[in-house]
A and B are shown apart, each in its own frame.
Chain A
Amino acid sequence: MPQVRINGVQHDVAADPQMPLLWAIRDVLGMTGTKFGCGIGACGACTVHMDGNAVRSCITTLADAAGHEIITIEGLSPDGTHPVQRAWMAGNIPQCGYCQPGQIMQAAALLKETPKPTDQQIIDAMSGNICRCGTYLRIRAAIKSAAETT
Chain B
Amino acid sequence: MTPIVNLSRRNVVKGLAGMTGLVLGFHVGPRIFPFAEAAVRAKTFEPNVYLAIDETGLVTIAAHRSEMGTGIRTGLPMVLADELEADWTRVRIVQAQGDPKYGDQNTDGSRSTRQFYQPMREAGASARQMLEAAAAHVWGVNANDCRARNHMVVHTPTGRQLSFGDAAKVAATLQVPPADHLELRFKPASERRYVGKPMPIVDLANIVRGKATYGIDFALPGMKYASVERCPVYGGKALSFDAADALKVPGVERVVAIAATPIPSGFNPLGGIAVIASNTWAAQQGRQRLKITWDFGPNANHDSSAYRAELEATARKPGQVVRDQGKVDEALASSAQRISADYFVPYYAHAPMEVPTAVANVVGNKCEIWAPTQFPQAARATVLGGSASSVRERHRQRDLAGWCLRPQVEAGLYRGGRLAIAGGPSAGEGDVDARGRDSARLLSRDLCPARRGRARGGRQRHRMASSDGVSGDRIDVPTGRDLRQRRRAPAGRYRHALRDRERSLREWARRQPCSHRMVSIGLQHPTRLRGMLVRRRACPCGG
**Chain A residues engaging chain B, CB cutoff 8 angstroms:** 15-16, 19-20, 23, 26-28, 30-39, 43, 45, 72-74, 80, 85, 88-89, 92-101, 104, 130-133
Is the beta-carbon distance between B216 and A80 smaller than 8 angstroms?
no
Closest A residue to B281 by beta carbon equals A23
Q: Cβ of B71 < 8 Å from any Cβ of A?
A: yes
In the bound assembly, the distance between CA atoms of A131 and B400 in angstroms comes to 11
Docked-complex contact B208 and A92, CB < 8 angstroms: no
Q: Tell me, in angstroms, the Cα distance from A11 to B68 when the chains sit together.
A: 34
- Report the bound CA distance from A72 to B211 in whole Å: 12
The answer to whether B16 has its CB under 8 Å from any CB of chain A is no
Q: Can you name 20 A-B residue pairings with CB atoms under 8 Å?
A: A20-B281, A27-B225, A31-B210, A32-B210, A32-B214, A32-B219, A33-B209, A43-B353, A45-B353, A73-B210, A74-B210, A89-B208, A92-B200, A92-B204, A94-B208, A97-B69, A100-B207, A132-B403, A133-B69, A133-B402
The reply to whether B209 and A28 form a contact with Cβ atoms under 8 Å apart is no
Known interface pairs A35-B353, A39-B284, A98-B353; A92-B198 also in contact (CB < 8 Å): yes
Contacts of A30 in B (CB 8 A): 219
Complex Cα distance, B207 from A95, in Å, reads 10
Smallest CB separation, A75 vs chain B (Å): 9
Interchain CB contact (< 8 A) of B71 among A95, A130, A131: A95
Residues of B within 8 A of A35 (CB): 214, 216, 353-354
Chain B contact residues, majority secondary structure:
loop
Q: What residues of chain B lie closer than 8 Å to A27, measured between beta carbons?
A: 225, 279-281
- Please state if A95 and B280 are interface contacts (CB–CB under 8 Å): no
Contact partners of B232 in chain A: CB under 8 A: none
Residue of B nearest to A73 (CB): B210
The CA of A28 and the CA of B281, in the complex, are separated in Å by: 11
| Contact yes or no, B68 A96, CB < 8 A | yes
Taking CB as reference atom, which chain B residue is nearest A28?
B279
Please give the distance in Å from B179's CB to the nearest CB on chain A: 37
**Shortest CB distance A92–B (Å):** 5
B355 contacts partner chain A, Cβ-Cβ < 8 Å: yes
Tally B residues with Cβ within 8 Å of A. 42
Shortest C-beta distance, A74 to chain B (Å), equals: 5
Q: A100 near B208 (CB under 8 angstroms)?
A: yes
Cα A95 to Cα B353 in complex, Å, equals: 12
Are B208 and A38 touching (Cβ within 8 A)? Answer: no
A16 touches B250 (CB 8 A): yes
Nearest chain B residue, comparing its CB with the CB of A99: B353
Interface status of B122 (Cβ within 8 A of chain A): no
B490 → chain A, closest Cβ, in Å? 31
Cβ-neighbour of A95 out of B70, B208, B213, B225 (below 8 A): B70
Q: What residues on A are CB-neighbors of B208 within 8 Å? A: 80, 85, 88-89, 93-94, 100-101, 104
Q: Which residues of B contact A131 (CB under 8 A)?
A: 353
A interface footprint on B437-467 (CB within 8 Å = 1, 0 otherwise)? 0000001011000000000000000000000
Contacts of A99 in B (CB 8 A): 353
- Interchain CB contact under 8 A, B210 and A98: no
Residue B217 at the chain A interface, CB threshold 8 Å = yes
Tell me which residues across on chain B come within 8 A of A89, comparing CB atoms: 200, 204-205, 208
Query: Which B residues are in CB contact (< 8 Å) with A133?
Result: 69, 402
Question: Are the CB atoms of A15 and B279 closer together than 8 Å?
Answer: yes
Q: Which residue of A lies closest to B403 (CB)?
A: A132
| Residues of B close to A92: CB separation below 8 A | 198, 200-201, 204
Interface 0/1 of B284-307, CB less than 8 Å to A: 100000000000000000000000
**B36 shortest CB reach to chain A, Å:** 31
B400 contact set on A, CB distance < 8 A:
96, 98
Q: CB of B165 within 8 A of chain A?
A: no
B212 in the interface, Cβ–Cβ < 8 Å?
A: yes
B208 to chain A, nearest CB (A): 5
A139 smallest CB distance to B (angstroms): 12
Assembly CA distance A40 to B390 (angstroms): 39
Given A16-B282, A73-B209, 8 more A-B residue pairs with CB atoms under 8 Å apart are A27-B225, A31-B210, A35-B353, A88-B208, A92-B200, A94-B201, A101-B207, A130-B353
Q: Name which of A15, A92, A104, A132 has the most chain B CB atoms within 10 A of its CB.
A: A132
B contact residues around A36 at 8 Å (CB): 216, 280, 355, 443, 445
Q: Tell me the B337-374 residues at the A interface (CB within 8 Å).
A: 351-355
| Nearest CB of chain A from residue B479's CB, rounded to whole Å | 35
A96 touching B353, Cβ below 8 Å: yes
Shortest C-beta distance, A63 to chain B (Å), equals 13
The answer to the question of B251 belonging to the interface, with a C-beta cut-off of 8 Å to chain A, is yes
Contact B68 A74 (CB under 8 A): no
B410 at the interface (CB under 8 A from A): no
| Cα A93 to Cα B198 with chains together (Å) | 12
User: Shortest beta-carbon distance, A54 to chain B, in Å?
Assistant: 15
Question: Which residues of the partner chain A approach B403 to less than 8 Å between Cβ atoms?
Answer: 132
Q: Bound complex: CA of A36 vs CA of B448, how far in Å?
A: 13
Contact of A97 among B207, B216, B250, B351 (CB under 8 A): B207
Q: Given A23-B280, A133-B69, answer yes or no on A94-B445 (Cβ-Cβ < 8 Å).
A: no
A56 to B245, CA, bound (A): 28
For the complex, give the distance between the alpha carbons of A24 and B132 in Å: 55
| Chain B residues within 8 Å of A80, by CB | 205, 208-209
Interface string of B64-86 (1 = CB under 8 A from A): 00011111000000000000000
